[in-house]
Structures are given as structure tokens and as C-alpha cells.
Amino acid sequence: MKQLLLVFVGGGFGSVLRFIIGKYLNSTETGIPYGTFAANILGSLLIGIILGLAAKNNSLSQSQTLLLATGFCGGFTTFSTFAYENHVFLKSGDFTSFALYTIGSFVVGFLAVFLGMFLAK
């Protein structure tokens, strides 16, 4: 139960921060989502730092990692987890899984959005 609460609290803070960044940085004039882009890149940087610290001499506890990486970064952006998982594939030399996961995520993700929009009509 403690683990769920940590993820819940971290995710809440991450989601609120993503909303604020999007509200102030996404361009209504051009339609370019600068805020979303910034959240994705910042979230990727943060999850790299957090998981790097967690792996380095156990600098972060499991609870801290759940709160910050799974919770905060997960709420802030799921792109951060996607980027980290691809890093793991590349680091291990598993280029096939990297390619399939990356291409599959984009293609299936886009198709799922289109299907959802179609079903909602």
C-alpha cells in the first residue's frame, strides 16, 4: 500500500507540473506544443538522473525511486520511461528489441489514437 501511495503522490505532482508547463509554453498561435516537448525532454533527463543515482551505490532507496521515477516522471511524462527502456535495450546491445519497441510504440500508438477517435464518433 505504501508503494501505491508513493506512486500516487509523485504522479500527482508530475501531472500538475506538466499541466502548468503546457499551459504556459504550448503555443495557441502556431499550435506547436513546446510545453509538451519540454516536459518530455526534461522528464527524460530527470529519469536518467534518478535511475542513475539509484543504480550508483544505491544512492536512492526503493521508496525514493518509486516516488520520483515511477510516480513523478510517470505523471510528468510517460515518454521518460519509454526513453529509459530504449536506453536499456541499446546498452545491452539488443538492437532488435529497440527497433521493434520504438517503431511499434509509434505506429501502434498512432493507430490507437486514430481508432479511439473513430470509435468516439
Please, where are the H alpha helices in 26-94? 34-55, 62-65, 74-76, 79-91
pLDDT score at 94: 94
| pTM beyond 0.85, yes or no | no
Asked whether 47 and 77 are in contact (CB, 8 A), the reply is no
Q: What is the 8-class DSSP label of residue 110?
A: H
DSSP state letter for 56: S
Could you read off the pLDDT tens digit of each residue along the chain, which spans 121 residues?
999 999 999 999 999 999 999 999 988 888 788 898 899 899 999 999 999 888 888 889 999 999 999 999 999 987 888 898 999 999 999 999 999 999 999 899 889 888 988 887 6
Please report which helix (H) or strand (E) contains residue 22, including its range. helix 2-25
**Amino acid letter, residue 47:** I
